[in-house]
Chains A and B, each alone.
Chain A
Amino acid sequence: MTPPVAPGLLWTAWILVRKDLLLEWRSRARANALVFFSLSTLLLFSFALGPDTTFLKRAAGGTLWLAILLASVLALGESFRVEQENGALDGLRLAPADARALFLAKALANTALLVLVGAVLLPVLLALASVSPTLGLGRLAGVLVLGCLAISAPGTVYSAISSHARSRDVLLPLLLFPLLIPTVVAAAKATSLVFEGDPMLQFGSWLGLLAGFNVVYWSLGFALFPRVVED
């Protein structure tokens, strides 16, 4: 019989993602809470900024991404709490699971959650602000996925740090928000272009910027996360 071999990085990450998503699906409590929270945030923004519909139309992109950003604080804040409360993080580290696989898994699971939030928010936003995806659903989906990826990567690193610090609820947004300002600007601008049309062909450059942020933050997260969870 061949000796057991430590599973590869991507396979380990895949198993961990499935575990997290399965846990989410079984309880659905967190996902539900997140969706309802972001829906009420969206409504709040619309009421606070409304009722001028022309303004709401122009602010639609920004409103969407602010709602996703606020939801991300909740989602990311919770993402290590399950492990921390049950001491499961040590179990994960004792298993031959590379910490980098853990990072990929957590960050991807968080991305999936945020994309779900975005997908639920979009039809509501389209109705509230009376906008429609002029540049097409494909481009809209592209912005959504790239934006959520760019939020999750650094968010996962900071979440692992802040879940072990004092005042963790304040620390996570304090660290994350300044970092995400360029990302949110790019995502919001790109989304607005999808809604309003893009006569000067700027969509590509904003998307390129988002892709660039992803490359930087995913590589940094991948390299640095092991140092965050090591003992």
Chain B
Amino acid sequence: MLKNVRIALAVLALGLLIWAGYLGLVWAPADREMGDVQRIMYVHVPAMEMALLAMTLNFLCCVTYLFRPSWSMDSLAEAFAEVGLFFGGFGLVLGSIWGKPTWGTYWTWDPRLTSMAIGLVSYAGYLTLRRLVDDAERRAVWSAVVGIIIAVDVPIIYYSVRWWRSLHQMQSSPATVDPAMVRALRWNFLAFFALFVVFVMARYAIALARRRQEVTPPPLVLERAS
């Protein structure tokens, strides 16, 4: 039953991605100043939104785990961390591609980019920690602790464009953006979110299965006496 749901979701996500891709690449108008380079926004922004969402959810799982330990919470935290790292990583590269024609540079050390880069390395460290601890329970507790500590960066990433003078633009609202662009952005957000759910469900299943394998003793094999 669950398998069918996941397949249906994946098909839906793919369909949304194609539709949103069409909107972003063909349907949406070119920007007044950025020209067609604007279209990169339709993939960069949703990617980063998914990354921040994943990091926030990882934090919530870590806190929950410390109050009520369970393998499902631990596995969910792991899933959010990896999916967040994925979206953040390629989102950062997309931003870099956008930056070259618009800012004239692939990278700059401004607060938004720096804090996001720190965040990504932190979550890579989180996942490495999980790989290097063999005891399942200790791994769960320690990564929950680490996850809470690194989550301090997440509000910094989000609010950095508001708190400091940053090269990166501030959050825009639909009131100030062309409605056609809002439409393309919204559909891409939906498509990316559908994929996000599909990925998290798959990664969660992988993590939970590994926990089961670690925690249950191997079955005894009884040999028939010959």
Contact = CB atoms under 8 A, between A and B. Distances in A.
Q: Is there a contact between chains A and B in the complex with CB atoms less than 8 Å apart?
A: yes
A224 B149 contact: yes
B129 A157 contact: no
Contact of A166 (B134, B138, B145, B152): B134
Interface stretch (A56-64, A89-97, A125-133, A172-180): A172-180
A154 interface: yes
Contacts of A220: 148-149, 152
B149 A179 contact: yes
Contacts of B115: 182
Interface in A133-168: 154, 157-158, 161-162, 164-167
Contact of B146 (A166, A175, A182): A175
Interface string A185-217: 000000000000000000000000000000011
Given A181-B114, A227-B141, A171 B128 contact: yes
A228 B114 contact: no
A110 to B, nearest CB: 17
B66 A227 contact: yes
Nearest to B149: A220
Interface stretch (B36-44, B51-59, B118-126, B174-182): B118-126
B129 A171 contact: yes
Contacts of A216: 152
Counting chain B CB atoms within 10 Å of each CB, the highest count among A164, A171, A179 belongs to A179
Where chain A touches its partner, the secondary structure class is: helix
A229 to B, nearest CB: 10
29 contacts: A157-B145, A158-B146, A161-B142, A164-B133, A166-B134, A167-B132, A171-B128, A171-B129, A174-B128, A175-B122, A175-B125, A175-B129, A177-B121, A178-B118, A178-B119, A178-B122, A178-B150, A179-B149, A181-B118, A182-B115, A182-B118, A216-B152, A217-B149, A220-B152, A224-B145, A224-B148, A227-B144, A228-B141, A228-B142
Given A165-B129, A178-B118, A179-B118, 17 more contacts: A154-B149, A164-B138, A165-B142, A167-B132, A171-B129, A171-B132, A178-B119, A178-B121, A179-B122, A181-B114, A182-B118, A220-B152, A224-B145, A224-B148, A227-B66, A227-B144, A228-B141
Interface of B: 66, 114-115, 118-119, 121-122, 125, 128-129, 132-134, 138, 141-142, 144-146, 148-150, 152, 156
